[in-house]
């Protein structure tokens, strides 16, 4: 999957996420993920500072607040993460359903496919229901 530069942190080149790589905006309006901001921040007495690696603008916050509590989330990126994650989840669910209905589930030697929306349990449930429908339809003939 190709990731658009707008949706990845320019420091670590990792995709933003809603869990651990939340896109946060510095006062200069540049966006970085929370872990990178934590690493880039320094304490100066009662002030925490972050020097933007792109423009060198210095963002200052109170030490009593965490960076997560003092910097806004980039909502434009946040909304796109939701859309992108939903699309990926739908694709994963469709693939799982296809594998389950075609009985092409991973064997014991292969690595199971895991995704957040459709778990292995759900795949097994679908497979079981599919097998029950097949056995009931063949039992009637």
Task: Please report the domains of the chain, with CATH numbers, ordered by start residue.
Answer: 5-70 (3.30.40.10), 90-140 (no CATH)
Alpha-carbon distance 56 to 118, whole Å? 44
Please give the mean pLDDT across all residues of the chain. Answer: 74
Mean pLDDT of 13-35: 94
Alpha helices in the chain (DSSP H): 34-40, 67-70, 75-101, 120-140
Is residue 20 exposed (0-12), middle (13-18) or buried (19+ Cβ within 10 Å)? exposed
Region 5-28 average pLDDT = 91
Model pLDDT, residue 90: 61
Q: How far is it, in rounded angstroms, from Cα 24 to Cα 47?
A: 18
Name the percent of the chain lying above pLDDT 70.
55
pLDDT per position as a tens digit, 109-140: 444 444 444 444 455 555 555 555 555 555 55
């Amino acid at each position: 999957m190709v990731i658009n530069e707008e949706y990845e942190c320019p420091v670590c080149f990792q995709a933003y996420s809603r869990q651990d790589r939340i896109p946060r905006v510095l006062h200069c309006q540049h966006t970085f993920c929370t872990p990178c901001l934590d690493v880039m921040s320094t304490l100066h007495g009662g002030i925490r500072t972050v020097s933007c690696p792109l423009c060198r603008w210095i963002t200052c916050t109170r030490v009593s607040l965490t960076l997560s509590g003092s910097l806004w989330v980039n909502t434009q990126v946040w909304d796109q993460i939701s859309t992108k994650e939903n699309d990926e989840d739908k694709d994963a669910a469709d693939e799982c359903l296809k594998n389950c209905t075609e009985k092409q589930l991973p064997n014991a030697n292969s690595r199971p496919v895991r995704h957040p929306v459709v778990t292995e349990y759900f795949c097994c449930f679908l497979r079981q229901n599919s097998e029950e429908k097949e056995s009931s339809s063949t039992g009637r003939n």
